[in-house]
Structure formats: structure tokens, C-alpha cells
Structure 1
């Protein structure tokens, strides 16, 4: 048998590129929205650059104020205790010339402006302003001290007793009756004197022969939980002594004096001077028509040199 020819091999297929899947179409033929690209990541600043930026800001602040770093340190230290000498020492100036340096620094306008700005900032932080301090001083000056302690007068034991005899309270009367009976005495012989009903809060009787209508005085300390704002400012505490409780208070006269200086009641503190025209008119009205005050010795009159001084001779002394 004749052999069959071998079948021809099929040519190799060329590799075809894979197609990307088509985008899905939405309903009604509207294409789906494309995806948004992710925003780029922000680079985080390095700490070294941040520190350099802070330094540059502080340097610009000092440059705007016209201060050197050493002068700015002096301003900061001066706000601590308002002592120029100690502030200069803490700022790095020489201890031997700190007093002079402090005076010179305070005399500079840019330092004065920096201190003023720092003081305003300090007042805003602490809430301590001139108005608040003045209000506190005014509260002490015009507070009523009787809100802290009072001296009250009440009736004595005889003021409202029967026949101005000694009067008891109900408790005192019962206690005296019990003691009377313990001694085996007849209750009918008990002397009730002025009866019961004694109340020390009642006013004195003007015709009382015992206290002559003056009554008895007692000291009353007020409850500090119920004080007014002015009384709270006046109150300085309390302490126990061997004589009782002593209530402490701030000085009202010191507060009044500070207010008087503030409003300019003192001529020296307010730098007021007498009006020369008013003084001249006052002297003229007092009888001196020329307005000048005569003096016993004229300081501008100089004696003639070489001639002896002699007393003037009047007309009556001439021959």
C-alpha cells in the first residue's frame, strides 16, 4: 500500500492584543461619569524650616519696634517688677552700670512705646485695668463700716419691769422658782420682782431710774456671707483675741486720700498754680491801690560805695 502524504501544518496564529473592556453604558444611552484623579499629596514642612520661620518672625517684630534682642529682653524683664536696674542686669547688661543703663533705656522713645504695648497686653491678659483699680479704691473709700460691726443699745433689766424692778425672761423665772423650791421655801414667798418678758432688743425706757434712759450697749458682728460689694472690699478678715473676735478692715482714709490725689484735690499733686492776675486783683481789693506788696528791705537797693550809711533826717529833726 502506498503511504499517505503527511498533513500540512497550520501556520502559527499571530498574537492579537487584548482589547480593553468597553465602558458600560448607562441607561438611556448616557455615558457613566469618568473617575476623578486623586489630588496630589502635600509635602509636610520640615521642623528645621519651621524653627527658622519663627526666628525670622521674631526678628521682624523686633525690627518693627526698633529694638535689639537685648533691648527686647530688657522690656520683658522690666514688666516683671518694674525695676529698671534689676531688669538691665537680667537682660545681660553690666551689673556695675545697670542703674545708668536702665535710666538710659527708659528714656528712649522706642523702649517707652514697647513698654506701653506690653503693659496693655498684660492688662488684657490679667483683666487689671486702671478703671478696675479705681473702682476698688472707691468701694473701700465709700463703704459703710457699720455693715461689718455695729454697736446697738437695748433696754436694761429694769426698763420695762413692773415698777422699774428687775425683769426676767420666762426661762430665768422658771429656773429661779426651781431653786427656790429646792431650798424648801414657800413658793408664795417667791419675789417675782419686775415679772417676766425681758427682751434686750427693746429700746431703753426714757424714765428708767437704773440706766437713766441710756440702756446697755452691745457689739454685734455682722454675717460676712451677707455683705454688700463695698463692705466686702472694706473687710480685711477677723481674728480671735483674748478679748473676743477682732474684725479687721482696710483704711478708709488711705483710700479717700488716693481718690483725692486722683481727682486733683491737692494743689501740689495736680500741679496747679495760683493765677497771678487773680492775686493782683485780690491785693488791689484789699486796699493797696497799686497792687504791689511793700517789703521792709529792698534787695535791689545797693548802698553807695565809699560813703557811710546814715539814717534819713526828717523835717521835724531839722533845726
Structure 2
């Protein structure tokens, strides 16, 4: 049977891909080996366990997981980069030195990312609409934990009162009964 560049048969590769996609060993085995659908669960568990212990399958799974982790981390970094582009966008970047508006293809990447839409009228005039800068700034502030710092600075009158007493309360007295 032919093997791929990782030394795996097509079924072994499919099993490793299934594990990498989050399937448990039995489900990945059933997908890779459809004939096993009629087998007893115990048999599938045993065969899947043996296959998962195969050194070449383990090495391939590690590669698949590493690629998935890279893709996920790049995605998160990219999202933050785009939020920053909008948050730090500068309206002055849409004009040329002579004060005329740049056409969309003349915008730098950061400015273009901040543009939600544009219209070009019949005379070649450009009308830009930008993404909400405040929304992007708020998202960055949340990401940096700035709201948590703000919440710690807020006062709670009841908490402040209890802290000011700090153990100086010795008991409750019956104020009405003291006059008697």
C-alpha cells in the first residue's frame, strides 16, 4: 500500500487528521476505517489505541496540532492588528499633499483597513466612511485590562463605611431602651 511523505497509509493519515480535528480515537478510527463500523466497540477501542500509539501517527499528529496552533495564534494576532489599525487611524492619511482626496487604490494599508466603505460619484469625487474608532479603542482597552483598573478605582460607599469601622464596633445597643 502506498504511503505519504510522513510514512503513513491513507487510512493512518485520515486517523491522524481526525484526531487533529478533535475526534476521539474511536471516532477517528471509524472515519479512517469504514469497515470497522460493524465491529464491537471494544475491538475499535483496542485498534484505535494501538494506532494512536504508533510512532509515525504520533509524529504526524504533533505536526497537525502545531499547524493548528500556529493558525490560531496568527489569527488572534491578526485580529488585534486590525483593531489597532482602526483605533489608531488618522483621517489625514486620505489626503494628498495638495489637499485633494486619495482614491482607494492610493491609500496605505493601515488607512485602507480603517475604511468601511467608499463611493465614487459620477465626477470622480470620493466619499469615505470609516469604521467606528471608539468601538476599536474600547476593544483594545478591554484587551489590555484597562476597564479592570477603572473598576478598582470606583468607590463603594458601604464597603468604605465597613472599612472605616475596621473592628471598632463592639455590639449593638438598643438606643430607645437607653433612656429608660
Which TM class, normalised by the smaller chain length? Answer: 0.3 to 0.5
- Relative to the length of structure 1, the TM-score reads 0.30
- The structure number with the bigger radius of gyration is 1
